[in-house]
Amino acid sequence: MSMSPPRPPVPAPAALATRAATLCALFVLALAGFLPRPAAAFETRAGAAWVYDMTTDTVLLEKNAHERLPPASMSKLMTINMLFEALKDGRVSLDDRFAVSSRAKALTGSTMFLNETDRPTVEDLIKGIVVLSGNDACVVVAEGLAGTEEEFARKMNDRARALGMSDSTFANASGWPHPNQRMSMHDLGILAARLIREFPEYYGYFALSEFPWDGRAPANRFNRNPLLAMGIDADGLKTGHTAEAGYGIVGSAVQDGRRIVFVLSGMTSEKERADEAERIANWAFREFVRKTVATRGTRIAEAEVWMGSQTRVGLVPAEDVTLLLPSLAQGALTAEVVYSGPLQAPFEQGAPMAEMIITVPDMAPVTVALVAEAAVPHGGLIARMRSAFQVLSARVLAEMAG
């Protein structure tokens, strides 16, 4: 008994980048409820700046943010990061004691006033770097973790590249002026966010107001970070100053469940640094508010389906879509959905299928993943016939147009 060969599958039309022409009516109405005006441009006096809302992953301000600049003592945050990683990995503990070399003792500038007979604990050194900005403490950490400061700098460079800090190079652990000691405000900002996010058990050290190490320098026991005394709910991180770099600061604060990180460089005095940091923190908290523009499972758009049991499927966000928006109403949000279609069946409910791009005036676009509202299995004979007719119709139309 002869059998006819199986029919070849109906070829799908070429996938095209498709923009959903019409968003679902309920979502359009939701967007219409939020009419943010563009945020008033913040004219910072800093030579370079980066302001970031950690809670919503939103960059609020960039000014020369990727320029490679001398970071001064702000680069001590990378030394702290290396030490926190060693603590988290179990390579050291807070009670471990490190030796002090003559090289560390010889460091001038901001110091803990360590000498070769001291054996400070890791916790002492953390406080000495964060609160006292001790250059000597940084060298002790570098030598304790890597043997030499030069080897530690090499490890810092390797780690910076692994963390995506492409604007950073290190020549030492303390931020002492050197042509190869460079960081951008962006890199300092993402490093600060990492310290907050990855090391909550150690981040509290940044909020210490004083550290009277061994009573050696009573006047030097206070934290140099002016933000801690301003009443703006700041809890870190680090100041910096050299003649080349000017006055800089990496700060973070939390208000009403929102955490911001901001980095400023190139200020002309301690007062200007403090005033500008307070101004920019107040602006970041007061100018922007969080709004939920779509809830989980809300149908945003529909996509065509190829060879499925149904011809269309709804596209929905897997989670609530919450944006940080300028607080006063005047402009408008826009949104479009982009996918490569038609979508090829079968697929499961919740499978990633598209992206929604929301545009906020004067801010970076926000991209949200959309998933299938329902599962769509393979279609039967009728689906194949429908698909064949669609292909044939497309070819006829193409020939007529040609």
Domains by residue range for the chain, with CATH: 16-37+293-401 (2.60.410.10), 48-286 (3.40.710.10)
Confidence of residue 271 (pLDDT cuts 50, 70, 90): very high
- Please tell me the distance from the alpha carbon of residue 187 to that of residue 193, in angstroms, as a whole number: 10
Give the per-residue pLDDT at 325: 81
The token duo for 264 is 């400023």
**Mean pLDDT across the stretch 140-159?**
98
Better-scored residue on pLDDT, 374 or 4? 374
Mean pLDDT across the chain, nearest whole number? Answer: 87
pLDDT digits (tens, 9 = 90+) for 164-179: 999 999 999 999 999 9
The confidence score (pLDDT) of residue 78 equals 98
Q: What is the pLDDT of residues 365-377, one digit of tens each?
A: 888 999 999 999 9
For residue 275, the model assigns a pLDDT of 96
- Report residue 319's pLDDT band, with 50, 70 and 90 as the boundaries: very high
Chain segment 300-315, per-residue pLDDT in tens: 988 888 888 888 899 9
Mean pLDDT to the nearest integer, 197-222: 91
Average of per-residue pLDDT across 243-258:
95
Q: What is the pLDDT of residue 375?
A: 93
pLDDT at 8: 47
pLDDT at 398 over 90: no
- Percentage of residues of the chain with pLDDT beyond 70: 83
**Better-scored residue on pLDDT, 7 or 272:** 272
Contact 364, 65 (CB under 8 A): no
Question: What integer pLDDT is reported at residue 25 of this predicted model?
Answer: 60
Is residue 354 left, alpha or beta, with left meaning phi > 0 and alpha meaning psi from -120 to 50?
beta
Query: What pairs with residue 354 in β-bridges?
Result: 370
Of 10-14, 172-176, 246-250, the poorest mean pLDDT is in 10-14
pLDDT tens-place string over residues 31-71 = 655 544 444 467 899 999 999 999 988 899 999 999 999 99
Query: Given this model, what pLDDT does residue 18 score?
Result: 56
Q: Which of 183, 104, 91 is nearest to 141 (CA)?
A: 104
pLDDT at 21: 45
Q: Report d(CA 400, CA 302) in Å as an integer.
A: 29
Across 266-286, average pLDDT: 95
Which of these ranges, 23-32, 140-149, 313-322, 371-380, has the smallest mean pLDDT?
A: 23-32
